Structure 1
């Protein structure tokens, strides 16, 4: 987040996976109660002025709640925040088009992208042990860390689904 703040963006777009895609305004609440943790967060700081327009009862998906937690700990106040949940079944080309659209949403856009690694790294993992999981996670982390669009586009969506990533 410090690197993103140093880039002096006009907008921070937080992107994370969810069962259904959609947009979330700054200030949308989220919770970790479903995971047994009594903690609520908001996506970025509460906006000043009238309500942000998120529907009553709308809550952040888990990926964006994690982003809200990170932003709160960092006391993010550099730029407005928008959240985008990417549907888990969105194709790679659909993800590329969405990313391009998000990149044009302000003059200087920073993106905080959150993703789950595989759920197949150990014998006790939800997906059991799959020897391909560690290599998949490492390649995805390298691609995300380097913002390597070509490497991200080349991720095997079928393998990702098999590994519950």
Structure 2
């Protein structure tokens, strides 16, 4: 059973060792993410994480280890507190799993299992996948890794797109109000156009949240480096 949900982005800049100059914007984003995931360990020592990767679907268990070496610095991480990352850590571990491992350690969670969905998985199947994640009898925290749009401003990786701001507003409202139905309004084609690479994970959240009533709290929503990042916590009522 999902006891609480944390929605966070997963840029490498969350990791202090990978940030050459950590300004106020980075610190604010990182702090919001750490507050969100710390709330998960308040109610569950075990996490289920869901993200998106082009090699998905894949499930990475708690014994998984990795390193941020391919991003420039060898920062080892593990999906379990009992599995110390060592020299054999996977340097090609997908970014959502790497960030999950780093956040797990920061928040003091015992273990995490990372579910990586294919980016083109249709909304209904994502919803069904989310239901499956929520079906277990044991209490777990759900970590959802998803960025917002990446074409909002001149600083964005892609040219500004007229649909980007409405999509971010939809996500911002849905996450703040714990509105699963509104998340399902996110069209997969439009999401791809405006760079919401975690769209499948957000649709999985909609399915996972169907078994209860939730209260949402938006901790962060901004476009600090041309990419929109939303951070939110959903708690059961």
**Separation in 1, partners of 2:144, 2:177:** 12
Structure 2 partner of 1:74: 107
1:113-132 correspondence runs (5 A): 113-132=144-163
**Separation in 1, partners of 2:101, 2:154:** 31
1:137 to 145, 149, 168: 168
**Separation in 1, partners of 2:67, 2:139:** 30
1:28 to 64, 77, 97: 64
User: Over residues 105-151 of structure 1, what are the superposed CA-to-partner deviations in whole Å (9 max), with x where a residue is unaligned?
Assistant: 33323201010221212224222112332332242244345443212
Using the size of structure 1 for normalisation, the TM-score is 0.80
* Equivalent residues of 1:31, 1:39 under 8 A apart: yes
Match status 1:16 vs 2:16: no
Structure 1 partner of 2:140: 109
* Equivalent residues of 1:143, 1:151 under 8 A apart: yes
Matched residue of 1:96: which SS? helix
Structure 2 gap segments, 5+ residues each: 1-36, 197-237
Name the structure with the higher strand share. Answer: 2
Matched residue of 1:113: which SS? strand
Which stretch shifts more, 26-35 or 111-120?
26-35
Structure 1 partner of 2:202: none
Structure 2 partner of 1:160: 191
Structure 1 partner of 2:4: none
Matched residue of 1:15: which SS? strand
Match status 1:98 vs 2:123: no
Over 3 Å counting, the alpha-carbon distance change for 1:155 and 1:93 in structure 2 is same
C-alpha RMSD over aligned residues: 2.4
**Separation in 2, partners of 1:158, 1:135:** 14
**Separation in 1, partners of 2:175, 2:97:** 17
Structure 1 partner of 2:219: none
**Separation in 2, partners of 1:127, 1:152:** 23
**Separation in 1, partners of 2:193, 2:152:** 12
Over 3 Å counting, the alpha-carbon distance change for 1:147 and 1:95 in structure 2 is farther
Using the size of structure 2 for normalisation, the TM-score is 0.58
Structure 1 partner of 2:182: 151
